[in-house]
């Protein structure tokens, strides 16, 4: 099978972004295929998303699995080079900032294949984050750069990207959120830990190396979560990356913190929508809480998504300030008086598809 457009997905954050773009391209009758690298391979981090988001099954699965950043990126590059040489696409489409995105970008560039980057231009200005390196390098070799916010356009302009390559289209992940909202359901998850949907609770998601890899930092973080759990019970889906480290802190014995397995998209978004607030270090969750009007406390010194602060519900916090900030946010009606970021309207996928259709003629 050959295709004029090849989409690359590899990890959980990619799937809600790719689904609306691929559907919109199908509506235009574009010849496309989906390659899943297998960077995330656990069912709750990968396969369930294809089912729940009605995303077509991958035409090809590479099964690269885990490894160091170098090992994983190299394995994906070797596998994708063979795929691209066999199928000779006119355009490769990559999403976000995971290792699969950078690997595909480098291979496409070396082979002279045009590259489109969905979610281009985001910058935390923290090069200690592997994702920041992936973002910068991917954007530097992309031919079509689709942005989710005006600040992303500005960053790309300062980096010398020609204006005609940059397209402000909105956020395709929000397309998925809005189209799936009537199916969000956390009832079974909550009942399984003894909570009702009407009970006040918090959601936490934590996985970044800066938070979970250093034992001292993790201990302080767990202490902060225990303090927050005194305000409301915490539901903590545990990313495999941090499971052992968190378990060693004794968090599993804390009665107010409910550690659960990773959840599917519909279950997790149901948890987020029903929560009083979310404590996270994730990028995408900052955007989803903004659209749902749920206060978000981000345990990071920076964010590549400042629009979630200026036009959303997000606040940057530290382990030392998260509990006090949580109390302030819950006591305040601030999050009810918010703007929706421009073009986060559920039509980003169609905008992207239209531009791709014009470019791949």
The per-residue b/e assignment along 53-62, b for 16 or more CB within 10 angstroms, e otherwise, is: bebbebbbeb
The verdict on residue 76 lying in a domain is: yes
Q: Which two tokens stand for residue 28?
A: 């235009």
The verdict on residue 216 lying in a domain is: yes
75 and 22 share one domain:
yes
73 and 220 share one domain:
no
Q: Which two tokens stand for residue 84?
A: 């691209």
Place of tokens 């989803």: 288
What tens-digit pLDDT sequence spans the chain (361 residues)? 456 999 999 988 999 999 999 999 999 999 999 999 986 555 455 678 888 998 888 999 998 877 888 999 999 999 999 999 999 999 999 999 999 999 999 999 999 999 999 999 999 999 999 999 999 999 999 999 999 999 999 999 999 999 999 999 999 999 999 999 999 999 999 999 999 999 999 999 998 888 888 888 899 999 999 999 999 999 999 876 677 788 888 888 899 999 999 999 999 999 999 999 999 999 999 999 999 999 999 999 999 999 999 999 999 999 999 999 999 999 986 555 567 899 999 999 999 999 999 999 7
Give dist(CA 181, CA 5) in Å, integer: 29
From the list 154, 163, 94, the residue with the least C-alpha distance to 121 is: 154
Give dist(CA 25, CA 348) in Å, integer: 12
pLDDT for position 333: 63
Q: Are 303 and 282 in contact (CB under 8 A)?
A: no
207 is catalytic: yes
Give dist(CA 125, CA 140) in Å, integer: 15
153 and 226 share one domain:
no
pLDDT for position 337: 55
The verdict on residue 204 lying in a domain is: yes
The verdict on residue 177 lying in a domain is: no
Burial class of residue 160 (count of CB atoms within 10 Å of its CB; 0-12, 13-18, 19+): exposed
Give dist(CA 97, CA 123) in Å, integer: 11
From the list 280, 275, 210, 299, the residue with the least C-alpha distance to 13 is: 280
Handedness of CA 102, 108, 110, 112 (dihedral sign): negative
206 and 227 share one domain:
yes
Q: Which two tokens stand for residue 277?
A: 């607030």
* Residues linked to residue 6 through DSSP beta bridges, in sequence order: 33, 92
125 and 68 share one domain:
yes
SS (H, E, C) 289-302: HHHHCCCEEECCCC
- Supply the CATH number for residue 211's domain: 3.40.50.2000
* Residues linked to residue 50 through DSSP beta bridges, in sequence order: none
The verdict on residue 236 lying in a domain is: yes
146 and 221 share one domain:
no
Q: What is the CA radius of gyration of the chain?
A: 20
The verdict on residue 214 lying in a domain is: yes
Q: Are 286 and 304 in contact (CB under 8 A)?
A: no
pLDDT for position 1: 47
From the list 121, 128, 64, 119, the residue with the least C-alpha distance to 95 is: 119
260 and 134 share one domain:
no
From the list 246, 298, 238, the residue with the least C-alpha distance to 263 is: 238
pLDDT for position 210: 81
238 and 315 share one domain:
yes
| φ/ψ (deg, to 5) at 154 | -65, -40
225 and 304 share one domain:
yes
pLDDT for position 217: 87
186 and 69 share one domain:
no
From the candidates 69, 117, 155, 207, which is the catalytic residue? 207
**What count of Cα atoms within 13 Å lies in the side-chain half-sphere of residue 189?**
26
The verdict on residue 176 lying in a domain is: no
| φ/ψ (deg, to 5) at 280 | -150, 165
The verdict on residue 44 lying in a domain is: yes
| Boundaries of domain holding 166 | 5-171+344-359
253 and 305 share one domain:
yes
159 and 282 share one domain:
no
Report how many domains make up the chain: 2
């Amino acid at each position: 099978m050959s295709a004029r457009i090849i989409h690359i997905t590899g990890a959980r954050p990619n799937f809600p972004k790719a689904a609306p773009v691929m559907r919109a391209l199908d509506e235009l009758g574009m010849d496309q295929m989906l390659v899943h690298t297998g960077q995330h391979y656990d069912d709750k981090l990968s396969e369930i998303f294809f089912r729940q988001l009605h995303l077509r099954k991958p035409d090809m699965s590479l099964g690269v699995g885990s490894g160091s950043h170098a090992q994983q990126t190299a394995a994906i590059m070797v596998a994708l080079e063979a795929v691209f040489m066999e199928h000779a696409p006119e355009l490769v489409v990559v999403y976000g900032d995971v290792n699969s995105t950078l690997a595909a970008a480098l291979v496409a560039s070396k082979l002279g294949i045009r590259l489109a980057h969905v979610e281009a231009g985001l910058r935390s200005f923290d090069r200690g984050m592997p994702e920041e390196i992936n973002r910068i390098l991917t954007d530097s070799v992309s031919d079509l750069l689709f942005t989710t916010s005006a600040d992303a356009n500005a960053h790309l302009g300062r980096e010398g990207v020609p204006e005609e390559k940059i397209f402000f289209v909105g956020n395709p992940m929000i397309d998925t959120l809005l189209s799936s909202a009537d199916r969000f359901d956390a009832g079974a998850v909550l009942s399984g830990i003894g909570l009702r949907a009407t009970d006040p609770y918090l959601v936490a998601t934590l996985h970044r190396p800066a938070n979970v890899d250093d034992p001292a930092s993790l201990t302080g973080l767990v202490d902060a979560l225990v303090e927050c759990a005194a305000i409301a019970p915490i539901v903590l889906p545990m990313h495999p990356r941090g499971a052992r480290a968190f378990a060693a802190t004794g968090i599993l014995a804390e009665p107010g913190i409910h550690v659960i397995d990773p959840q599917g998209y519909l279950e997790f978004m149901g948890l987020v929508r029903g929560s009083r607030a979310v404590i996270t270090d994730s990028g995408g969750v900052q955007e989803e809480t903004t659209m749902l009007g749920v206060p978000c406390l981000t345990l990071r010194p920076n964010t590549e998504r400042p629009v979630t602060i200026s036009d959303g519900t997000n606040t940057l916090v530290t382990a030392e300030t998260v509990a006090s900030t949580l109390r302030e946010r819950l006591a305040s009606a601030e999050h009810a008086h918010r703007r929706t970021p421009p073009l986060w309207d559920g039509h980003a996928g169609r905008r992207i598809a239209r531009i791709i259709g014009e470019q791949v003629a």
